[in-house]
Amino acid sequence: FANLKLERWDIAKHWLLKAKNSNSHLVVFNPVIKDIFDLYEAEIALETGDFKLAKSILQARFKSFQSRYGPDHLKSISSTNNLAQVYENQGKPEKALQLYKSTNDKLLKLYPTRIDDRVVVLNNLAMYLSSLEKYNQAEQHLLQALEIGQKQLGPLHDDIINVKSNLFQVYTLSGQLKKGFEYSLKNFQDIFEEFGSDHPASIRLADNVGFSLEMQGKLKDALTIYKKLRGPFENTYGATSHDYQSNEQSICRIQGGLKRYKEFLKCSRLIFEWHRDWQGETHRATISAKSSFARALIMTRNPELGLKIAIEASNEAIKYIGKNSLEGKSTTQFVESICKVSKSTQCKDF
């Protein structure tokens, strides 16, 4: 579980299998223990791109809950939401949306007081709609999640902070940059005034302000905020945490935007190596970081090596995540854009 929290998927898988083998009698005869192992195994499979295994586990879990508790039991409804994530990652929007909406409708009808579950499902549904560029629908679901969740869960609850961050992203991605900046700044100021700059909620909301400035093209201002967040991220989460590395990735992205290519190449390599060592070579974040490293190599006049690594990243994204996934599409489009202007023989085999 500790390695799952750190998103060290390969190591987590090793210990999960070891625990499963050591407690095989419990896994077989105790449904509660089996459910825990199944959830962990499905999460690892989902994050490492083994969608076939994740789908198999979650479908069996869904059928088991329906058989044991009935289709309207909370466990059955929650398992529908988990299954929707598999279809989302496989690039099957119609099936994913159908399951997300079904989960939300059943929670609203049968469990209206389960506010925390409803907020999570509304958030998941909204962010999937956002990934399909259906921003108006996404915004409405996020505003609904805030309306029902803020009073009961409180302004510092992780799920509420997630919803606020995601609503900011929807404003930004839909081109409402001014609205997004004002919203992110107000959220940060409200938390900062009451709880200080080192509170985890303040850190995350300050990161939104930095990203908003970045999207407005104010790169130096954004870089200043990201660099100021280094200390709080390290003190709160640790230098090897995903949150700290995400901030480092933001700094690195700005260095590339400012055409500081030497710094961009160095940080791109470090970020790729961190994801590879901590999350495994087949993880979606590792593949994206590998593609960014390839971009940095091309920018620093090492086009052949950069193209080679970019093609590797694209092939891995298609193999492990799927050609219709966000990573599959983005890495392939990146290689195609290079090959349009490159005379490299590597492009002939792509």
Give, in degrees to the nearest 5, the angle at Cα 144 between 142 and 149.
95
Task: List, for residues 251-306, the tens digit of each pLDDT value.
Answer: 999 999 999 999 999 999 999 999 888 878 888 889 999 999 999 999 988 999 99
Please check the confidence at residue 16 and state whether its pLDDT lies above 90. Answer: no
Give the per-residue pLDDT at 160.
92
Statement: residue 28 has pLDDT above 60 = no
At residue 235, does pLDDT exceed 60?
yes
Q: What percent of the chain has pLDDT over 70?
A: 95
pLDDT in tens, 309-347: 999 999 999 888 777 777 888 999 999 999 998 889 999
Q: Is the pLDDT of residue 93 over 90?
A: no
> Which pLDDT value is given to residue 29?
57
Q: Distance between CA 64 and CA 309 in Å, rounded?
A: 43
Residue 24 above 70 pLDDT? no
**pLDDT at residue 4, rounded to an integer:** 62
At 8 the pLDDT is: 65
Q: Would you state the pLDDT for residue 86?
A: 80
pTM: 0.75
CB 296 within 8 A of CB 264: yes
Q: Given this model, what pLDDT does residue 41 score?
A: 82
pLDDT of residue 169: 93
Q: What is the pLDDT of residue 219?
A: 96
Q: What is the pLDDT of residue 281?
A: 86
Residue 121 confidence (pLDDT) above 60 = yes
Instruction: Give the pLDDT score at 211.
Output: 94
Distances (CA, A) of 184 to 2, 67, 219, 271: 31, 45, 17, 26
Per-residue confidence (pLDDT) for residue 261, from 0 to 100: 92
Mean pLDDT of the chain: 87
